[in-house]
A and B are shown apart, each in its own frame.
Chain A
Amino acid sequence: MQLLSGNEACALGAIRAGVRFFAGYPITPSTEIAEMMSEELPKLGGIFIQMEDEIASICAMVGASAAGMKAMTATSGPGFSLMQEGIGYAVMTEVPCVIVNVQRGGPATGLPTKVAQADVMAARWGTHGDHPAVALTPWNVMESFLLTVKAIEVSERLRLPVILLSDEIVGHMREVVSIPESVPIYERKKPLKSADEYLHYGDDTNFDAPVAHFGDGYRIHISGLTHRKDGFPTNDPKTIAWKMDRLRDKIDLNRDWLHIEEHFDLDAETVIVSYGSSARTALEAKYEFERKSGKKIGFLRLVTLWPFHYKKVADLLQNAKRVLVVEMNQGQMIREISRVVHRGIDVVGVNRYDGELITPEEVLTKL
């Protein structure tokens, strides 16, 4: 048993899952992750480097991953904004990597030391162009560890950047946890084809695809320009459509596999939907209400925010007469929830965006 913060658990998760490259830039409230990586990675022969900004950090991470290393970076709001171009590049070039965003209040410098969950849509749509997005959000220290491991797995298997949307509360709170000594490590498969026959984007299943790296002798070309199967740029409409569909299908074909949630008592009339540190408040409010009224309240905690599993969430909420969405922003996930409930169902937001946690009392007044 160990007493760890969410940020420390995240760093440990990355190390256990095989991350050996970390490039980052100091930013509150994520810095403990970089600090722990700078201490641990050299012991394991891994690379830690502090770059000149977040743009450089994500580019170095993508370079290292394209050269075969499991790689991660960690940041918060302003740094997350700077990383958006690199996220798009990793999507287009299909380079696995994990971006941890320990959310703080925004926009701009906002609230460096205070909590928010306002980067939900930035995680989905932050970079330009149509693109797939995966974002997982932990609600406690243990889950910070587990979801970091999961994020790395998803990223490696789908060749996609994955975002871990932590927040200041989860990142900084300490809990006693039992961290496993080892977790499954996903090694990328080597191509079976010769360099002459190998196509960098030739695997149609696009899951656990064999992939060549810089230095493997395949003389690959990686480009952010829309490209053909061999990685070279194209303007051919059919090939462009093939590439865009290929990227979209990473989500469309794996929605069930990517979806993680937790729920209780969804046969109740009123259901609370929440995620991350707000879900802790929401669950407390559910118990409090049930103690006082004797009536059940449903509870749905989203762990995978993106891709949002419309069908599954619709099924889970089909009996609800009233839905409360508890989140620390001006209403971001509530938009997705509103789209999947039956017409006429009351969907009410419980929001706070002043840097403070939502209290159970605030949820109770809306119940």
Chain B
Amino acid sequence: MNQEIFNSLRVDDRLPHILCPGCGIGSAMNAMVRAISESGLEKDEICVVSGIGCSSRVPGYVDCDTFHTLHGRAIPSATGVKLAHPNMECIVIAGDGDLLAIGGNHFIHAARRNLDMTVILINNFNYGMTGGQYSPTTPQGKRAKTAPYGCVERDFDACKMAEAAGAVFVARSTTYHTPHLKGLIKQAIKKNGFALVEVISQCPTLYGRLNRMGDAVKMLEYFRDNSITVSQVKEPKDAEGKIVIGVLHDSEAQEYYDVYKKVMELAQKVNK
């Protein structure tokens, strides 16, 4: 194991992890840990926060302050930690069901509020921990344990929603493109404000099997063959049926705590 990875994980008794063979979450965790390390952050300056689900088990393996909260509640919990310790780097790691269904409202309002945090969304198109039920990102027609005849609902695009809600940095990659993913997470960490990195990931045990997508390698090959970078998209139809990867949105807006500091100064001036 690479030394920087080794140093960043709770290797003594937390590993091996609980993830299935071929799961993409390990690749995403690997990219996150390398991104943290390359960002020059000390382990004691980081709090990794999660909700409930497969992706949310990641904090248990990472050697820094870690906060495994309630289902869907990683973002509001991280909000409390960040406001109590504005100098800490809060990284939320969440699955598609956790972040977008039960935690959807928190996600929207955190993007709007623009408190500095990095959200890593591991999107594997289903609820893995409970056995493969359909999630807000399961494409219409695809199978899941609660959609045995194909999913009735339409899926939605978390990146578009984050941008619309006010996120200042939005990016996407896949578990096939891990060095690329690591770079995006580094950019997200550096950004002062609400940053989202979506990771398209494979769940070969459930979603992949139910939809006859082959094993983990086949699914990764699918990501390789069907991804297109932002710069390759010349017109909207280029992106049809493709996974668009890269920085999708990067803008500037005042960060929440920076504004709150001004409020404190004002209140203290009035008080004198």
Chain A interface (Cβ within 8 Å of chain B)?
Answer: 21, 23, 39, 42-43, 45, 47, 49, 51-53, 55-57, 59-69, 71, 85-86, 89, 214-215, 217-225, 232-233
Contacts and interface: CB of A to CB of B under 8 A. Distances in A.
Given A42-B268, A63-B79, A68 B70 contact: no
A85 B70 contact: yes
A215 B70 contact: no
Nearest to A59: B76
A97 B51 CA distance: 20
Interface stretch (B60-68, B132-140, B141-149): B60-68
Task: Classify the secondary structure of A's interface with B.
Answer: mixed
A219 B65 contact: yes
A55 B80 contact: no
B77 interface: yes
A43 B271 contact: yes
Contacts, number: 134
A223 B60 contact: yes
B105 interface: yes
A86 B271 CA distance: 34
Given A43-B267, A60-B83, A67-B85, A86 B67 contact: no
B268 A215 contact: no
Contact of A219 (B43, B108, B264): B43
B73 interface: yes
Interface residues of B, number: 40
A100 to B, nearest CB: 17
A49 B79 contact: yes
22 contacts: A47-B83, A49-B79, A56-B75, A59-B77, A61-B80, A63-B69, A63-B80, A66-B67, A67-B80, A68-B84, A68-B85, A89-B73, A214-B88, A215-B47, A215-B84, A215-B85, A219-B63, A221-B59, A221-B67, A224-B69, A224-B70, A232-B60
Nearest to B52: A224
Most B-side CB within 10 Å, residue of A49, A51, A219, A221? A221
B83 A66 contact: no
A47 B70 contact: no
B41 interface: no
Interface string B192-234: 0000000000000000000000000000000000000000000
A23 B270 CA distance: 23
Contact of A221 (B66, B70, B108, B264): B66
Contacts of B63: 219
Contacts of B76: 51-52, 55-57, 59-60, 63
Contacts of B70: 59, 85-86, 89, 224
Contact of A223 (B68, B81, B260, B270): B68
Contact of A53 (B81, B84, B88, B105): B105
B161 to A, nearest CB: 15
Given A42-B268, A43-B271, A219-B44, A21 B84 contact: yes
B109 interface: yes
A69 B67 contact: no
B268 A43 contact: yes
Contacts of A66: 67, 80-81
B249 interface: no
A325 to B, nearest CB: 36
Contacts of B264: 42-43, 45
B80 A217 contact: no
A217 B68 contact: no
B65 to A, nearest CB: 4
Interface in B31-74: 43-44, 47, 49, 59-60, 63-70, 73
Given A47-B260, A55-B73, A224 B68 contact: yes
Interface of B: 14, 43-44, 47, 49, 59-60, 63-70, 73, 75-85, 88, 105-106, 108-109, 260, 263-264, 266-268, 270-271
Contact of B80 (A52, A71, A85): A71
Given A42-B263, A42-B264, A63-B78, A222 B85 contact: no
Contacts of B47: 67, 214-215
Contacts of A49: 79, 83
A62 B77 contact: yes
A232 B80 contact: no
B73 A56 contact: yes
Given A52-B105, A89-B70, A65 B268 contact: no
B267 A63 contact: no
Nearest to B257: A47
Contact of A220 (B65, B69, B75): B65
Contacts of B80: 21, 23, 59-67, 71
B64 A219 contact: yes
B84 A67 contact: yes
Contacts of A68: 84-85
Closest 5 CB pairs of A and B: A63-B80, A67-B84, A42-B267, A56-B76, A64-B80
B51 to A, nearest CB: 10
A248 B271 CA distance: 45
A64 B84 contact: yes
A221 B60 contact: yes
B267 A222 contact: no
Nearest to A53: B105
A64 B67 contact: no
A155 B64 CA distance: 26
B65 A214 contact: yes
Contact of A56 (B64, B66, B106): B106
Contacts of B81: 63-64, 66-67, 214
B64 to A, nearest CB: 6
Contacts of B60: 221, 223, 232-233
Contacts of B66: 219-222
